[in-house]
Amino acid sequence: MTDRLPRILRSDAQDNRERILDAARALFAAEGLDVPMREIARRAGVGPATLYRRFPTKQTLITEAFTDEMRACHAIVDEGRADPDPWRGFCRVIEKICELHARNRGFTEAFMSAFPEAVDLAAGREHTLNAIAELVHRAKKTGHLRTDVALDDLILMLMANRGIHATSMAARVTASRRFAALAIRAFQASRTSGETA
């Protein structure tokens, strides 16, 4: 009997951890990062002490909650870089990144924030931005991407995409897709009047 007890406790602790992460992901996606830790604990069905035992700071919870989104972000950028046509790869990255961020408001905030303790998130953001910068450089060489496009322009695009508000997730994603199409047109080099468009 005593041999089984630690396993039950560990299983219980793992269940609590997963419930906390599920609640945090749902609340961050819907409301952003300003959700109070007590609300996350309440939604998860655990006490605040249990929440803080598993995640001592909000930053550690945010980092853990967005691990899957950061992996998805990496996969999108890596797929875009792997495309033999850099302009097409760039366009796909814009479309998919905007949709990923539209589906999860909290991830955009976490991606744009700089939490000193969130080393994994900061490293992931750095990897993503460096990979996009490389893709931008290659896409410019094709003549399809404006030569004056800078990485800061893509950050501004994400910030603008974050500002899309809609009554439902489907409406937000639809609006984000439209926004991505407009952004791509703005980034595209003009074939008739130089790059002043």
125 shares a domain with 33: no
Write out the residue range of the structural domain in which residue 35 sits: 4-59
- Picking from 85, 79, 102, the residue whose alpha carbon sits closest to that of residue 157 is 102
**Predicted model pTM:** 0.75
Q: Would residue 135 count as lying in a domain? A: yes
Can you give the C-alpha Rg of the chain in angstroms? 20
What residue ranges in 36-182 does DSSP mark as E strands?
none
Question: Residues 53-75: what's their mean pLDDT?
Answer: 87
> Residue 152: in which H helix or E strand, if any?
helix 151-162
Q: Would residue 196 count as lying in a domain? A: no
Q: What is the pLDDT of residues 94-149, one digit of tens each?
A: 999 999 888 887 777 777 765 444 445 667 778 888 899 999 999 999 999 999 99
